[in-house]
């Protein structure tokens, strides 16, 4: 398999687990160094929270986001050190920052601090209990969008994550999201499940967070990505610094167009996807999007994944 047929995918919030990155840091100096860099950038022992918990702290948004970023970049750096490269990168929501670190768009330390602030701003944008998110399973985007409009009733209710044809997440005011979930269930969705999240991400309620983050991101040094980045908010390939920054700003309130982004990469010739970081959420979504594509996960056993990829026939 050639590099041109491989894309790296980086997970977002929800993939965290106590112990993530620990084995990797014990086996590979470059991974250990990555966690050390994150600790220094943040001024506290993020590595200890990743490796040992406690889980309730690791679930705090302003800790979760830099933690997943660091675990993902540690895994990517090991892959890179072993000569494993990709022609494209993409990341789900928060994961887009990991993708840009891998593409050389932003420095790792800058990204760690930016996502810590991003998590804090998102959490502070809406008081706890005011917002909600729900997963609508087995209903197409057009129907979900119509239900959101009907359920809003002067509140906010919007598609937030277009993960696959089988899974669309909605976000907004709690009452509106609950109304939409009931309407979806009544009108043929397989399931409509309220999600255990701390804030209504990727909807217009996040505008205060977007405004605060924009100032932070514009103060950073962005480079042109070394490889194209499939951005969430537009489902387009980005090759320049200015668009990279703009897309990261707009994704705070914009929907994550994951399925369109994956179909774009498939249309660009990608045959194998490597999920780089904790969890297997993105591989699960790829099975819903296109089961014919190879999707492997790299969290701790990097060498096994490289061997699997080497043995894959295209």
> Which residues carry out catalysis?
93, 202
Give Cβ neighbours of residue 247 (< 8 Å, ≥ 6 apart).
96, 231, 232, 233, 234, 238
The structure tokens listed for 124 are 């502070």
d(CA 147, CA 152): 8
d(CA 24, CA 28): 6
Residue 187: Cβ within 10 Å count = 13
Diameter of the chain measured on Cα atoms: 55
d(CA 79, CA 309): 12
| Cα 212–chain centre separation | 20
Which pairs count as long-range contacts for 145-154, CB under 8 Å and 24+ apart, including other chains? 147/180, 147/183, 147/184, 147/187, 148/172, 148/176, 148/180, 150/180, 150/183, 151/176, 151/177, 151/179, 151/180, 151/183, 152/176, 152/180, 153/179
Give Cβ neighbours of residue 128 (< 8 Å, ≥ 6 apart).
198, 199
Radius of gyration of the chain from Cα atoms? 19
The structure tokens listed for 312 are 């894959």
**Cβ–Cβ under 8 Å, residues 297 and 24:** no
Parallel, antiparallel or unpaired: strands 294-298 and 157-164: unpaired
Give Cβ neighbours of residue 2 (< 8 Å, ≥ 6 apart).
none
Burial classification of residue 82, based on how many CB atoms lie within 10 Å of its CB (0-12 exposed, 13-18 middle, 19 or more buried): middle
């Amino acid at each position: 398999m050639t590099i041109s047929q491989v894309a790296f995918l980086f997970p977002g919030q929800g993939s965290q687990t106590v112990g993530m990155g620990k084995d990797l840091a014990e086996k590979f100096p470059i991974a250990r160094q990555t966690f050390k860099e994150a600790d220094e950038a943040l001024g506290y022992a993020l590595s200890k929270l990743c490796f040992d918990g406690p889980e309730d702290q690791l679930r705090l948004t302003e800790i979760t986001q830099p933690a997943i970023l660091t675990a993902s970049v540690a895994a990517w750096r090991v892959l890179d050190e072993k000569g494993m490269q990709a022609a494209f990168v993409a990341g789900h929501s928060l994961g887009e920052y990991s993708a840009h670190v891998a593409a050389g768009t932003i420095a790792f330390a800058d990204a760690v601090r930016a996502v810590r602030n991003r998590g804090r701003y998102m959490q502070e944008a809406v008081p706890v209990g005011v917002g909600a998110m729900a997963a609508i399973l087995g209903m197409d985007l057009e129907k979900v969008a119509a239900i959101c409009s009907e359920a809003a009733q002067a509140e906010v209710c919007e598609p937030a994550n277009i993960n696959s044809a089988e899974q669309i997440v909605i976000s907004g005011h709690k009452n509106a999201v609950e109304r939409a979930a009931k309407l979806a269930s009544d009108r043929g969705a397989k399931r409509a499940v309220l999600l255990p999240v701390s804030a209504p991400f990727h909807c217009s309620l996040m505008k205060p967070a977007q405004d605060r983050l924009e100032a932070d991101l514009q103060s950073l040094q962005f480079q042109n990505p070394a490889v194209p980045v499939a951005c969430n908010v537009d489902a387009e390939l980005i090759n320049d610094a200015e668009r990279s920054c703009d897309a990261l700003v707009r994704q705070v309130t914009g929907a994550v167009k994951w399925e369109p982004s994956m179909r774009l990469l498939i249309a660009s010739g990608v045959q194998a996807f490597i999920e780089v970081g904790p969890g297997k959420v993105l591989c699960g979504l790829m099975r819903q999007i296109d089961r014919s594509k190879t999707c492997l996960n790299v969290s701790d056993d990097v060498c096994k994944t490289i061997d699997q990829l080497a043995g894959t026939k295209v």
